């Protein structure tokens, strides 16, 4: 185990922080749950690496990855940064959601300078979007990072074949091979065989890490490094959070408190958890969160259904249902304490838009006030409201948030009595798709 056992006791070490001031009686239930044998056993099974799915607990070690591995990954990334203007990341689910979430959360598109543009492919089958991507790539000097343990998942396999064909036509087999980096299984699978045959450079998806827990492996780290993200600080934030999750008393670990709170909500009969943020840049992180909890818990008729909203935008579409609809949901606000204040609203000679009372205030201040107003309204309307607070939208805080959610999800699944690390239901649609498309043996 490479995770250090030293602790910090300042505010930064305590973040992400779960606040339950607006959660009503669920908050008290969650506090009581923390002292139960059921919760202590759920936590112990993760800490001691036992129980169903324990062979997929390798994600606990990812933040402590050896410096030599990070250096190797960064060396290839730095080489690509000087040779291409675009990196296409081909993957679906956990193979792309984490990297995409972090790039958006870090406002990478705005702050990047000489970094290649990161495009994502292989996560859908929409023809016009694929056509548009291929047309864009015709005028780009690009490389491909194809991410798949098997190499045969339908959506990314189709996208990769099309993009690889474009590279072959432009650069020939050897030139194409230099521009393709495969992140795949260490030994087995179609993509590993193709990489060996064609001479692709490879990074390994650890065999004890499932896709939705793989963001801090080369799956997420390589495209992030190509984009210029500080992956060492990202890993450091995750390492600090996992240190607390693995060693601190249960009642002091906010990730465990979050798992207990969610479990109490499910036992009460609530069915839906809404992750709400007033930071549009966290939209893709919510997509990652949805897969993490949806695939981990949605089994045997159990689990909260995870969905997400972007405020204040969605207040003008879903706000009515959240305020006055069926009381089947809980709402979890995700907030960063320190964000950009933004522009100051100017004074106007005539107050035709009725905003003069806001003149002199920053947009950030107005947005923060909107959060408080919405939380108050929804609590009054009967929705339990929790809040998860991080310091800022930078690598260290976001690394801690990823680890927070992953550990909470593992404990939450154990509390439900399901294996949080498999996804048997995902195969159902695939079997139907293969049969309808005429795949041999289907």
pLDDT tens, residue by residue, 4-27: 333 344 444 578 999 999 999 999
- The H-or-E segment that residue 276 falls in is strand 272-277
pLDDT digits (tens, 9 = 90+) for 397-410: 999 999 999 999 99
CA distance 115 to 98: 19
pLDDT at 3: 38
Strand order in the sheet with 142-147: 117-121, 86-90, 142-147, 180-184, 201-204
With helix as H, strand as E and coil as C, how does 127-155 read?
Answer: HHHHHHHHHHHHCCCEEEEEECCCCCCHH
Indicate if 254 belongs to the active site: no
Indicate if 378 belongs to the active site: no
From the list 9, 38, 171, 430, the catalytic residue is: 430
Rounded to two decimals, the pTM is 0.94
pLDDT digits (tens, 9 = 90+) for 43-85: 999 999 999 999 999 999 999 987 888 999 999 999 999 999 9
Indicate if 168 belongs to the active site: no
Give the CATH fold of the 61-231 domain.
Answer: Rossmann fold (3.40.50)
Give the CATH fold of the 11-51+233-424 domain.
Answer: Rossmann fold (3.40.50)
Spans in the chain with pLDDT lower than 70: 1-13, 109-114
Query: Where do the CATH 3.40.50.10490 domains begin and end in the chain?
Result: 11-51+233-424, 61-231
Q: What is the mean pLDDT of the chain?
A: 93
From the list 273, 287, 295, 331, the catalytic residue is: 295
pLDDT at 5: 37
Please check whether residue 147 is in contact with residue 157, taking contact to mean a CB–CB distance below 8 angstroms: no
From the list 126, 135, 138, 316, the catalytic residue is: 316
Please check whether residue 64 is in contact with residue 130, taking contact to mean a CB–CB distance below 8 angstroms: no
């Amino acid at each position: 185990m490479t995770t250090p056992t030293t602790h910090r006791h300042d505010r930064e070490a305590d973040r992400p922080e779960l606040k339950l001031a607006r959660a009503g009686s669920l908050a008290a239930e969650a506090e009581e749950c923390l002292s139960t044998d059921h919760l202590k056993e759920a936590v112990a099974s993760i800490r001691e690496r036992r129980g169903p799915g324990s062979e997929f607990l390798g994600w606990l070690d990812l933040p402590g990855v050896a410096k030599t591995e990070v250096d190797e990954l960064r060396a290839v990334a730095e080489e690509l940064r000087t040779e291409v203007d675009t990196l296409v990341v081909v993957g679906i689910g956990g193979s792309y959601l984490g990297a995409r979430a972090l790039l958006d959360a870090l406002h990478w598109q705005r702050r990047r300078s000489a970094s290649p543009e990161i495009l994502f492919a292989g996560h859908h089958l929409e023809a016009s979007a694929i056509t548009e991507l291929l047309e864009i790539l015709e005028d780009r000097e690009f490389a491909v990072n194809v991410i798949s343990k098997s190499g045969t998942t339908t959506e990314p396999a189709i996208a990769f074949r099309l993009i690889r064909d474009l590279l072959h036509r432009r650069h020939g087999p050897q030139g194409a091979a230099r521009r393709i980096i495969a992140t795949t299984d260490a030994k087995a699978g179609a993509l590993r065989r193709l990489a060996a045959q064609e001479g692709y450079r490879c990074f390994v998806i650890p065999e004890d890490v499932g896709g939705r827990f793989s963001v801090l492996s080369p799956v997420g780290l390589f495209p992030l490094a190509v984009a210029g993200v500080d992956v060492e600080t990202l890993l450091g934030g995750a390492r600090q959070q996992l240190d607390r999750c693995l060693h601190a008393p249960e009642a002091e670990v906010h990730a465990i408190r979050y798992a207990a709170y969610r479990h109490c909500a499910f036992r009460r009969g609530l069915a839906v958890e809404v992750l709400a943020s007033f930071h549009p840049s966290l939209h893709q992180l919510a997509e990652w969160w949805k897969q993490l909890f949806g695939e981990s818990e949605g089994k045997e008729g159990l689990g909260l259904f995870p969905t997400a909203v972007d405020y204040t935008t969605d207040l003008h579409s879903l706000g009515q249902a959240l305020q006055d609809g069926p009381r089947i949901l809980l709402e979890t606000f995700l907030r960063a304490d320190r964000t950009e204040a933004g522009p100051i609203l100017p004074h106007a000679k005539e107050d035709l838009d009725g905003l003069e009372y806001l003149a002199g205030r920053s947009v950030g201040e107005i947005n923060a006030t909107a959060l408080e107003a919405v939380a108050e309204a929804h609590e009054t309307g009967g929705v339990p409201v929790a809040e998860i607070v991080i310091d800022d939208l930078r690598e260290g805080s976001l690394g801690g948030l990823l680890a927070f959610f992953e550990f909470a999800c593992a404990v939450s699944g154990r509390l439900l009595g399901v294996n949080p690390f498999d996804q048997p239901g995902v195969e159902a649609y695939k079997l139907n798709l293969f049969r309808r498309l005429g795949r041999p043996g289907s």
